[in-house]
Structure formats: C-alpha cells, structure tokens
Amino acid sequence: MRKISTSLYVPNEIKIEKITDNKVEIHAYPFQSGFAITVAHPLRRLLYGSTAGYAVTALKIEGVAHEFDSIRGMLEDVALFILNLKKIRFKIKNELSNKVEVSYTFKGHKEIYGIDLENDEVEAVTTDKYLATVNEGSELNFSLIIEKGIGYVPSEEIRDYIDEDYIAIDAFFTPVVKAVYDIENVLVEDDPTYEKVVFTIETDGQITPVQAFKEAIEAFNEQASIFFKAMDIDVATVDDEVDYTAELQKLLIEMSDLNLSARSSNCLERANIVYVAELSMMSEGDLKSLKNLGKKSFEEITGKLEELGYPVGYEFDDELLSILKQKIKELKLKKSEV
C-alpha cells in the first residue's frame, strides 16, 4: 500500500564524476516522480544563458576598411580571419576588468595560433586554435576588444557602441559548450518511481564545469528571490545556508507531521519538542528520560527518525548544529507570538 505523503521527498545524494578537466557528470537523487525534470530543465537553460564568459566583440586591422576586405601578405582574407578568431577563447587576467583592448604585431613568415595572442592582459584558453598565416616579408597589425558578458550578442548591437574604425563581431560569451541531462529511475523503499538526474556539463576552459553549475544555481536563486521577498522569507539567511538546504528541510519537519501515535505525540508536546532536529540532537538516554515516554513510544519515535536518516544521537557538524539551534529558536519564538 502506498504511503500518503505530507511533504515532498528531498534529494540527499549527489555525486560528481570528472570526465576531463573541462567535462563532468553530476548525479543528484532521489527526486519524487516528475520533479527531476522540474529542477533539471531550468538549470540547463541557466547554464547556457547565465554563465559569464569572455569573447572578442570588435576587431581593427591596419589597412582594412571592412570585413569583406583582403589583407596583403596574409594567406586568409578578413572574413576567414574573423571566423578563425571566433574559435579562440580568452580570459581577462584582471578579474575586476570587464573589457580590455589588446594590440598585436606579427611579421612573416609566421603561423599564428591562440597561444601567440597571450600577453599581460589576456590568457588564450584555446591555445592550439589556428588564426592566420603571415607571408615572408609581410607584417600584420591588429587590435582586439575583449569583453565579459553572458549569452549571445549579435554584431548589429555591438556596432552601436564601438568606434567606427573597428569591425563588430558576433559575441558568443557563454563558456558552456554542452549542458544536457538524463533522467533515470531509482528505487527508494521499494518504490521504483523515484528519479535521478544526471547532468553532463562541458566548458571551453574559461571556467570549470562545476563552477558553471554553481553559477547556474546561484542565478536560479537570485531569480527566485522576488518570491522570497513577497512571502517575507529572509533571502540572506537562505543564501547563507544554501549548502544545508536539504538537511534543514528534513530536520525542521514538525513531529506532528509524522503521524505518530497520540501517546508519543502527547509526550513530545509536554516536553515542548516540536522538530525532528531536537530529537536527533538528543542521546538515547536523554530521550528515554522524557516523562511518560514508554518503550513502544521510544521505538516508534526512533524508527521515524531512522527513516528520515537522522537517528537519535546523530553527529552534526558544528556549522549545521549552530544553524539548527538558531532556526529552532526563531521558529518557536514565532509560534509563541501567534
């Protein structure tokens, strides 16, 4: 017989598998049926749309008037030069700077690759990408504007704010090359309908996949902050405790929501014990010493706590323990004021 739930099951398992330096798989589970995609889809969209990266937004080549021009002494014409340039990914070394202008001079015979564009201001992430070949006796002088941004910005929009002697370039800022997810079924307490979400995330090297995933989660939280404010929830507190969200949701369940027997419920109520965490922080001896708590009630309560994964005498880390005590104090104070 299926149990009737009074709250959503909170996933409590996560595993990160490193495939390469720029590719990982992130496994999170178990979600109740239908909830894996509810979480996964917006995170995938945010991975592509909210992760900041760097891109060339404008190019100036000495002696060149427009992108359909050719350059004397260079194997490639300007259009092909721009196509190759888009494949080279950069990082601005000064993290406080969102925009730099860098200039280069190359004399032939010279094959130019990403590594050749590194200097004190920028790092070339894709060092092996080919740019152009300068012929013997020729010289190539050009400047780049490299900016930090998110998503995609077409050249038409960039053209509105750059100098006339620069050629605007379509800017693909996102460093996320691939962000996909699969949903698998997992077994939880003989129920095979629970779900696992497996993210595969790959970046171009400007940022690690784990950092990109973290930024997507932070963006999700920021976008949802309007609802926290509207519902009078302390956003700062939620942000501070983000690493403990799953634990707090379970540990701050009220004992009255666990369908205990009347005898057990009355005993806990008389002892002013309201939340799961209060019992998990107790030792077995402390719990047994509660007035009028019999053997059957003891077994019922400890059984419920073990099902939740936080048995009596559970060893909490200091930070979580401190947060729990503060939360319980605040919640009980609110109850007393009602």
CB neighbour list of residue 157: distance below 8 Å, 6 or more residues apart = none
The Cα angle at residue 39 between residues 33 and 42, in degrees rounded to 5: 140
Q: Which position has the higher pLDDT, 285 or 25? A: 25
Nearest to 147 by CA among 79, 91, 105, 103: 91
How far is it, in rounded angstroms, from Cα 34 to Cα 11? Answer: 13
* Percent of the chain topping pLDDT 70: 94
102 close to 187: Cβ distance less than 8 angstroms: no
Which pair of tokens denotes residue 173?
């800022």
β-pairing verdict for 110-113 and 130-134: antiparallel
Q: Give the per-residue pLDDT at 28.
A: 93
What would the mean pLDDT of 35-62 be, rounded to a whole number?
A: 93
- Count the Cβ atoms, other than its own, within 10 Å of residue 197: 24
What are the CA-CA distances from residue 213 to residues 23, 128, 188, 200, 220 (Å)? 11, 26, 26, 10, 11
Could you tell me the pTM of the whole model? 0.64
The Cα angle at residue 321 between residues 315 and 327, in degrees rounded to 5: 140
240-298: per-residue pLDDT in tens?
A: 444 567 788 788 888 888 888 888 888 898 889 998 999 999 888 888 888 888 888 88
Q: Give the per-residue pLDDT at 241.
A: 42
Q: Give the per-residue pLDDT at 77.
A: 92
CATH of range 248-337; options 1.10.287.70, 3.40.50.970, 2.60.40.10, 1.10.150.20? 1.10.150.20
Q: Is the torsion defined by CA of 230, 232, 235, 236 positive or negative?
A: positive
Q: Find how far residue 62's CA is from the centre of its chain.
A: 42
Which pair of tokens denotes residue 242?
């983000």
- What is the domain partition of the chain in residue ranges? 13-51+176-240, 53-172, 248-337
What would the mean pLDDT of 131-138 be, rounded to a whole number?
A: 94
Listed in sequence order, the DSSP H helices in 103-208 are: 155-158
Q: Is the torsion defined by CA of 140, 145, 151, 156 positive or negative?
A: negative
- CA contacts within 13 A on the Cβ side of 65: 1
143 close to 114: Cβ distance less than 8 angstroms: no
What would the mean pLDDT of 169-184 be, rounded to a whole number?
A: 94
Q: Which position has the higher pLDDT, 318 or 43? A: 43
Is the model's pLDDT at 131 over the cut of 70? yes
How far is it, in rounded angstroms, from Cα 324 to Cα 309? Answer: 16
Q: Tokens 């708590």 map to which residue?
A: 293
- Count the Cβ atoms, other than its own, within 10 Å of residue 163: 8
Which pair of tokens denotes residue 2?
């299926």
CATH topology of domain 53-172: RNA Polymerase Alpha Subunit; Chain A, domain 2 (2.170.120)
Architecture of domain 13-51+176-240: 2-Layer Sandwich (3.30)
Which pair of tokens denotes residue 126?
């894709």
How far is it, in rounded angstroms, from Cα 209 to Cα 201? Answer: 6
How far is it, in rounded angstroms, from Cα 142 to Cα 136? Answer: 18
224-245: per-residue pLDDT in tens?
A: 888 877 776 555 444 444 456 7
Give the pLDDT band (50/70/90) at residue 329. confident
How far is it, in rounded angstroms, from Cα 81 to Cα 167? Answer: 12
How far is it, in rounded angstroms, from Cα 267 to Cα 290? Answer: 8
How far is it, in rounded angstroms, from Cα 79 to Cα 83? Answer: 6
